[in-house]
Structures are given as structure tokens and as C-alpha cells.
Amino acid sequence: METLQQDLLIILPELILALGAMTLLMWGVFRGDGATGELNILTLVLFALVSISVFSGAPEERLAFHGTYIADGFTRVMKLLVLTGAALAVIMSARYIATERLRRFEFPVLIVFATTGMMLMISANDLVVLYIGLELQSLALYVLAAYSRDSVRSTEAGLKYFVLGALSSGLLLYGASLIYGFSGATGFDAIGNAVASGGQNIGLTVGLVFLLAGLAFKISAVPFHMWTPDVYEGAPTPVTAFFAAAPKLAAMALVLRVLIDPLFAIAVQWQQIIVFVSIASILLGSFAAIGQTNIKRLMAYSSIANVGHMLVGLAAGTQEGVQGVIIYLAIYLAMTIGTFVCILAMRRPEGMVEDINDLSGLAQTRPAMAAALLILMFSLAGIPPMAGFFGKFYVYLAAVNAGLWPLAVIGILASVVGAYYYIRIVMIMVNGEPAAPFEQNLGFELRVILFGAALYNLAFILFAAPVIAIAGAAAQALFN
Amino acid sequence: MLQALAFYLFSGVLVISAIMVIAARNPVHSVLFLILAFFNAAGLFVLMGAEFLAMILVVVYVGAVAVLFLFVVMMLDIDFTELREGFLEYLPFGAVIAGVLLAELIVVLLAWNFAAGTTVTARPELPPGGISNTEALGRVLYTDYFFVFQLSGLVLLLAMIGAIVLTLRHREGVRRQSVARQVGRTREEAVELKKVKPGQGI
């Protein structure tokens, strides 16, 4: 007999986060905007507490609130990754917010709310919780995108994201209602049973398509990627870094959960969709990025291509493939955050610059930063022995083992195209005429993150064994 | 007998007030008739034993929606006679659309046949043990879906924070009431006595 206390113990991480968010909010309201600095620190403490609470949770599967919430080995790993991404985003934002006069105490509070939503997405075991978690996350992200409210670009980004996000939520809800209608349940376990016993059903397939359309928007996979470049470009840079890291992880975890857990019996149906979405994302991400001159837009296309590569592992539909996706996510987080620290460092006395040509001659003006960016770019391009290579290696290995040869060939060829624009950045940095130098205001904490990320990418081979083992255990938890 | 009487009373008033909503010349009267229609519909729900639905209808539609309508009608200066000007001009086209819709409805109704056993599955489950509607709904909402209910509250809180973050501006130079300062004023600093000489002014 489950009691409320047991349920509350299982959802303890989310509980701490939600209560913490409200406490931080009250703190901010009473202390005013001057408290942003101390709120940042408190937010990090909160994230650390939640991480401990997630980490100390038992790795076996536990259900709460009539099976609408699930905690297992998979959620544990994904939550720790998301918390890391969110904490890094908070650290990255601190200095930026102070210099750009965006100092309002709501910023860390919104990030904590967004993180609560993401944790719920990861732990969702029911269509209703899935949707509420998604909305909690999205709503906070809409506001964060428009956070620099006096900037036209930022408000435009927020509005665009909001309108398209609302549309995608509509698609997702439509799909969810069809799945509910044809399986008679909203809980993933019950849907799984209905799907397994009911066999193929046109209504379920249509519902699946709409559900995937809504989720594809959240991971910015083609053909639902249109918002990504504009929002990435318009949003304040630390917010963009946050967008590229944590929500992608959470949405990807959600996709994995939905497709592997309840809908595994109709894998034949969703595999076609995932293969198409994956190829389209890789191709578009690789080719459209070539013409970009703004580095934030370039990173947007890069993230579209990366999502495509991740989906290759999911398309395989095997435990090995899911393991590859989780490894890829862990590497992608480090690559993205590191690159965005470099973008944050692109500041001249007249303000932030975002053009790729502004990096010209960086190897002479700022050699250490150039070296770190070089490692990150090589890693994104997938050149061995950088981490990015291993990310791609495991997903493609799984795809080949599952017999998806054409997908693997197209993906690898397109990633060669993708390597072109990463290496172009390196060429500009190394060979270009030195442009006016950037300000030396990176700060200690950002330097630690940048060189930590670069080191992680460079020496991934040393950490590879534990990362792969953890990802394997997480994938196994999902498949059991 | 009494129930049938009540039913015809509610239905009659409902139909008449619904007609008056579109027939009344004054838009404020229209909205007031709409509210009357809502109340009568609520009465019909009570007769059917759906007391919760009746309350919700009154609370949500009368309390919020109708008052909102009234606001719109009274605050915005819309000239309704102007809106009705093109009525005759568009009447034939509107009639054609109405005719098509009617034909479609008739076709659907003629082609409608229930699958075997539909009536059994579609009937709502009566709550066991003489629990009222309200209680049963409350159990679903606050016990079975307690978790989701709380999370929805979180979403609403976030929406409120978001609206404040994006729109609240503290403008400089706005005079606000400060009760403490008002109370703290002394007679000496508030009142000044001046001797005014006759015929000169200050």
C-alpha cells in the first residue's frame, strides 16, 4: 500500500527543486534586484542538494503517484546531466547579466523552474505528467528567451519561440489524445500493455506521429527546426547556452522514454519516422550551416545536426543504440557549453560581437582560448581522438549493427560536410589577420568551465570507460 | 409532475432568452439575456442531477465570461448598428452556407448507426456508495491526480512570474501614495499662515 510519504520520498529531488524555486523567489522579492548575486550562489547550492538527492536515490525502478512518476537508473543519469547543464548555465550567466544590465533576480528563479520542468519530463511515466513537465519547462524558456526585454531581437526570439512552441504543444496534445483514445490509458505502462496486445492500429500510429511532431520541435529536429536559428541568435548568450544544453537533454530523454517504454511494440512504425527525421536533420544542419556568418546561428545549425546524429542511435531501436545516445548527450553537453563560453568571451569595448570573422587571428591575440576553441571545434567535427568522435562512433556502430547501413552512410558523409564549417572557424582563428582583441574579462569561473570542457573533449579516452559503463546501465534500466 | 413543470419553465426561458441575445438591439441587454440563459441552463443541469456542472456553469460562465463580455461591450465603443449594415447584402451567401451545413448534418444523422454495445461502454460509471458528483470529481482531482494538480499550480505560478518579468517596469517620477508620510505630516509643515492685506492678494 503506497502512502503519500513514500510517494513524496520518491519525488524528493523535484520537491526540493520546486520548494527551492519558491524560496528563492521570496528571497528575491524581499531583497530586490541587488540580491541576484547571492541568488546565483543559492541556486547552485540548490542544484547541488538536488544532485545529491538524485544520486542517493536507489537505482531500481520506483513508481510514485499511481505510476505517473518513475525514477530508475535512466532518469538518474539524465537528471544529473540536466542539473549539470543548468548549473553551468547559471554560472555562465552571472557575469553577463551584470555587464549587460539585465540584473533582475528572476533569472536564476526561472532557470530553476525550467529545470524542475525538465526533471519532470525525464521522470514522466504518464502522458499528463509529460505534458505538464514540458509546459513548465517551455514556459520558463519562453520568458528566458525574451529576458532582455528592451532588445528587439530578444523579444522577437521570445515571441517566435512562444508562438511556435504553443503550436507544437497543440500537435503533441492532439497526438496524446489520440493515443489515449486508442489505448484507453494515459499511463505509459498501460499504454505499453495496450499497444503490445492490440497490435497495429491506425489511430495509434497517427497519434504517434503527432506526439513525435511535438517532441521533434522540442529537440529542434527537422522539419520542426525553423525556430532554432532565430531563437538562438536573439536570446541572450547564456540563455542560448542553456537552451542548447539542458532542454535538449531533457527532451531527448523524453523521446527515448516514450518510444522505448510504452511504444516499443510498434517500433517498426516509429523507426521510419526517426530515420527520416534523423537524415533530414543531419543534412540540413550540415549544409545550412555553411553559409552562416553569425556564430550563434552556426551553433543552432550545429545543434540540429547533432540531434540528427543522436537520433541515429535511437533509430537502431536497440539497447546499444540508446547507450550511444546517452554517451552522445554527455559529450554534446560538454562541447556546447565550452563553445558558448568562447562566444561569451567575444566582447569588445563596444559590446558583444557574434560574427565568425571577429574570431580572426585569435590564435595570436588569445592563444589559450584559441587552443580550447580549436579542441571544441575538432570535437564537434568528430575528429579522433576528441570526444565528439566517440559520440558519433557509438551511435553509428549501433545503427550498423541494427542493419541501418544507408542511414549510417548518409550520416557519416554529411558529417564530413559538417566538419568543413567547424574547420573553417579554426582556419579563421589560426590563419586570419588578427582582428581587434577581445576584452580580458572572462573571469575565473568561466575559464575553469572552458578549459575543463576542452580537457574533457581532448582526453575523453581516459574517461571513456566509466562514461560508457554509466550510459550502458542507464540504457539497460530503460529497456527493463 | 413538478419536475416536468420545472423543466419546461427552464427550457422555455432558456430558449426565449437565447433568442433575445441575438434579437436585442442594445448589446448590453444581449449580454444580460446571455446571463439569464446561463442561469436557466444551470437549472436544467440541476434537474438532471449534475449539480457540479450547474455550479461550474454559473461560476465560470456567469462569473467570468459574461462579465468579461459586459466589459468589452461597455468599455469598447463599438457601433453595433454599423456592424449590421451589410446584413442584407451578405444574406444570400450566408443562407447558402447555412443550407450546406444543414444538409451535412442531415446526412450525418441519417448515416449514423451505433456500433453494437456502444450504449453500455459510453455510459458514465456511477460513483459507488452514494457519493455525489462533486465528491467524486473532487476525489479524482485532488486524490488520484493530486500530483498533476500541484504541478499545474506550479505552471500557473510560473506564468505569473513570467508576465511580471516581461512587463513590470518601475517608472521614475510616478507619485505614489505613502501612508506613513501622510500620517507623519505635522501641522507646522503642512499649513502656512499668511496675513493678507485687504485689496492686495498674496
B30 close to B24: Cβ distance less than 8 angstroms: yes
Decide: A301 and A428 in contact? Cβ < 8 Å: no
User: Which single residue is written with the C-alpha cell 544507408?
Assistant: A406
pTM above 0.90, yes or no: no
Q: What is the grid cell recorded at B120?
A: 453500455
Q: Does A145 touch chain B (CB under 8 A)?
A: no
Q: CB atoms < 10 A from the CB of A114, how many?
A: 29
Grid coordinates in use for A355?
Answer: 560574427
Q: Between chains, do A64 and B146 touch, taking CB under 8 Å as contact?
A: no
Cell 570526444 maps to which residue?
A387
Å between A90 CA and nearest CA of chain B:
18
- Yes or no, beta carbons of B144 and A66 under 8 Å apart: yes
- Give dist(CA A442, CA A96) in Å, integer: 10
Task: List the one residue out of A340, A274, A262 whose CA is nearest residue A308.
Answer: A274
Name every chain B residue with its beta carbon within 8 A of the beta carbon of A103: none
Taking the C-alpha atoms of residue B82 and residue A260, their distance in angstroms, rounded to an integer, is 59
How wide is the angle at C-alpha B144 spanned by C-alphas B139 and B149, nearest 5°? 95
How far does the CA of residue B166 sit from the closest CA of chain A (Å)? 6
Provide, as residue numbers in chain B, all residues whose Cβ is less than 8 Å from the Cβ of A11: 147
Per-residue pLDDT of chain A (480 residues; tens, 9 = 90+): 468 888 899 999 999 999 999 999 999 999 887 888 899 999 999 999 999 999 988 888 889 888 899 999 999 999 999 999 999 999 999 888 888 877 788 899 999 999 999 999 999 999 999 999 999 999 999 999 999 888 899 999 999 999 999 999 999 999 999 999 888 889 999 999 888 887 668 888 999 999 999 999 999 998 899 999 999 999 999 999 999 999 999 999 999 999 998 888 888 889 999 999 999 999 999 999 988 999 999 999 999 999 999 999 999 989 999 999 999 999 999 999 999 999 998 888 888 888 888 888 888 888 889 999 999 999 999 888 889 999 999 999 999 999 889 999 999 999 899 899 899 999 999 988 888 888 877 788 889 999 999 999 999 988 889 999 999 999 999 887
Asked if residue A380 lies in contact with residue A331, where contact means CB atoms within 8 angstroms, the answer is no
3-state class of A88 per DSSP?
helix
Residue B91: pLDDT above 60?
yes
**Contacts for B67 with CB less than 8 Å, ≥ 6 apart:** none
Instruction: Specify the DSSP class assigned to residue A265.
Output: G
Which residues, 6 or more positions from A84, have their beta carbon under 8 angstroms from its beta carbon?
A: A51, A333
Residue B144 with chain A: CB contacts under 8 Å: 66
